[in-house]
Amino acid sequence: MTVKAALIWAQKKIAASSKSPALDAEVLLAFVLKTDRAGLFREPEQVLTVGQKRFYAGLIARRARFEPVAYLTGVKEFYSRPFAVSLHVLIPRPETETLIDAVIHDWRGAVKPVIIDVGTGSGAIAITLCKELPSAMVMATDLSAAALAQARKNAKRLQAKVKFFQANLLGNVLKKIAEPAIIAANLPYLTAAQMKKLPPDVRYEPRQALNGGVDGLKWYRALLTQIKKTPEKIRAVYLEADPRQMRPLKKIFRRVWPHASVEIIKDLAGKSRVFVMRMD
């Protein structure tokens, strides 16, 4: 079987389980052949070995059962960097880059800002901010030991000096800093109704990284409960959420900071995606 024939075969096999069968087929074959997608088209008549064909067929069979490509390859690109992912962490989404852009825009010129990524998962937010804002002190928390292990591996490979802590949301991290911190968080925000209707591929991802309770804001309320014990320790918060949750978030956080400025930032699809509250 040649590269060209393998791609045609694979696309047909996953047409019913993928919104982008051609792209998925190419990414997976490039992974098997240890090349990039462009390399596939440079040598379309290359013949796969028996081992390569068997490996590729296995991956395509798993993709046909809706298993995400990122879990099959073990890598997902985020902010132009490769992040290792596993079934222990949520796959980084393009929408989250909107949060990154907002933090960078506001704090690029700041002197040694303190940033805390709450619920870090793969470490995508914390590591990216560490790389993009080299003067910042970046800390990250997660309740899951497995997720933290994944995040630490990513930080080591990408040479990002992030301080990781196992904690329920903020835990005691605020007690470890002298200066007010910037909070960045992409906490679970799917509602109970949305959890019942998860797309087949999303069902592979850890439920604890998706489930935000009845209205999707369970964890953001819990975060605020921790923050309001020492509100003077916070300079700003950047929260990713569903577009329909922006108004409730504003109402919730206004209880602690009635006069802080609020901004709602839209993602590339034009949907309200990031809630920002600045206390300065």
Cα separation, 59 vs 72, whole angstroms: 7
- Please tell me the pTM assigned to this model: 0.94
pLDDT at 103: 98
pLDDT at 280: 72
Per-residue confidence in pLDDT tens, the chain, 280 aa: 999 999 999 999 999 999 999 999 999 999 999 999 999 999 999 999 999 999 999 999 999 999 999 999 999 999 999 999 999 999 999 999 999 999 999 999 999 999 999 999 999 999 999 999 999 999 999 999 999 999 999 999 999 999 999 999 999 999 999 899 999 999 999 999 999 999 999 999 999 999 999 999 999 999 999 999 999 999 999 999 999 999 999 999 998 899 999 999 999 999 999 999 999 7
Domains of the chain: 3-65 (1.10.8), 79-278 (3.40.50.150)
pLDDT at 147: 97
Alpha-helical regions (H) of the chain = 3-14, 21-33, 37-42, 50-64, 69-73, 96-107, 124-132, 145-157, 192-195, 218-227, 246-254
Q: Which residue has the tokens 């993709």?
A: 63
Q: Give pairs for 78-85: CB < 8 Å, separation 24+.
A: 78/124, 78/128, 79/124, 79/128, 79/132, 81/127, 81/128, 81/131, 81/158, 83/122, 83/123, 83/124, 83/127, 83/154, 83/158, 84/122, 84/150, 84/153, 84/154, 84/157, 85/122, 85/150
What amino acid occupies position 225? T
Residues 6+ apart with CB under 8 A from 222: 169
Cα separation, 253 vs 277, whole angstroms: 8
Backbone angles phi, psi at 165, to 5 degrees: -140, 135
Cα separation, 39 vs 206, whole angstroms: 33
Q: Cα dihedral sign for 93, 99, 105, 108?
A: negative
Cα separation, 60 vs 54, whole angstroms: 10
Q: Are 59 and 30 in contact (CB under 8 A)?
A: no
CB count within 10 Å of CB 151 equals 30
What amino acid occupies position 22? A
pLDDT at 9: 98
pLDDT at 46: 94
Cα separation, 52 vs 224, whole angstroms: 51
Helix, strand, coil shares, percent, the chain, to 5: 45, 20, 35
